Amino acid sequence: MLEDDLKDTFARHEDLVPAGAHIIDKAASTARTRRRRRWMATSAGAALALVAAVVAPVAARWAMPLREEPLIPGIQQPAPEVTGRPLNFLLIGLDKRVNSTAPVRADSVMIAHVPADRSGLYLVTVARDVLVTPSPGTRGKLAETYALRGFPATAAAVTSLTGVTFDGGATIEFTGLKKLVAALGGVHMCIDQVVRSEHHDRNGRYHTSTSRDGVQPYVYRPGCRTLKAWEALDYARQRQGLPTGSYDRDRHIAQMFRAVLRQAKESIDLTDLATLDALTDAIGPSLVLDTGGIAVGDLAKTLRPVLDKDITVVTTPIGGYHSKTIDGLSYQVMDDNSKDFFAALKADRAADWLADHPGSDWPSK
């Protein structure tokens, strides 16, 4: 049964979820000495911290400081007032394989942009195979930069590529995201193209590769419906057999983030502590958040109303693949349209640019 498969998956990751009492004790003992606000999603509004740098916890009950090093180096301290200015956060999705010693790559990279007028939210994907210069005289793919050099170097590479500087950042492991979707009872998504699963057969059973095993894959067909947790993650992460491969996958991941973000806001009762604790346990161990020194309460108060506005997904490079081969290796590169868009984003004119370039975004659904 699908439910049994899902339970087995959660059981294999049970040791990643710390006891709630331990979290509270740890938070209490370290809160007095923290110098910078870096948070796990262990607060009453943890489910809304899916896109952690955008939706800070609301009505926080506790917070757990993490490593001393910041995710985003060089942020002004103390942080400027959050009202009246645009905010940009770098979000990285991680696919940390169980029992694997291989470096963890960035499975998805997104810029979350909130305009100064708080008129909406933009989730802008950056192709993980895009050509970047992690340091002078070097080149590589964005996903490799995270694996070899970590979050600060990845943030610097994205800034060098796009011109966008960041007010904070976050990482989230997909195991935790799957648990969050399960805790929400699934997520309502609009599937935009036929997607055949490489990892689940027509009955929902997991396979390392359905094509190699010669079984009929699970098929996602266009239309809007509520997806179970395993379906949502499986759909969003498929790339094989799609017209533009990882480019399509990046768009689907961003669409899933948008859908979960909305569902969390609409369905969570912030007065139901039992439900909030369950959501906290589901997502907490998998999410790391750097608010750039902005108080979580201030960030939540400023950003929560944004979720009532449009959430627009933009996939870059805009318009599809733009490849370049260097020394026998293929990279994606930013086209002129993408460069123009990032210049507009930096200047807080994303809405104007998209209005002048219809078809470049994926509107709210």
CA-to-CA dists, residue 25 to 30, 42, 59, 64, 74, angstroms: 9, 12, 19, 10, 31
Chunked into runs of 10 residues, the chain (365 residues) has average pLDDT values of 47 45 40 33 32 35 40 67 87 75 80 92 88 83 87 91 90 80 87 93 92 94 94 89 81 83 69 61 70 72 76 81 83 89 96 87 49
pLDDT digits (tens, 9 = 90+) for 43-102: 323 333 343 333 333 334 334 333 334 677 666 666 677 788 999 999 888 877 666 677
Residue-level pLDDT at 245 = 78
CA–CA gap between residue 334 and residue 200 (Å, rounded): 33
Residue-level pLDDT at 351 = 93
CA-to-CA dists, residue 167 to 199, 257, 291, 309, 353, angstroms: 37, 20, 7, 21, 22
CA–CA gap between residue 218 and residue 98 (Å, rounded): 24
Residue-level pLDDT at 74 = 66
List the domains of the chain with CATH numbers: 2-180+271-356 (3.30.420.590)
b/e map 104-113, b = 16+ CB within 10 Å: bbbbbbbbbb
- Prior bond to 78 cis, omega within 30? yes
Residue-level pLDDT at 99 = 67
Is 346 within 8 Å of 162 (Cβ atoms)?
A: yes
Predicted TM-score (pTM) of the model is: 0.73
Residue-level pLDDT at 289 = 74
Residue-level pLDDT at 20 = 42
Residue-level pLDDT at 344 = 96
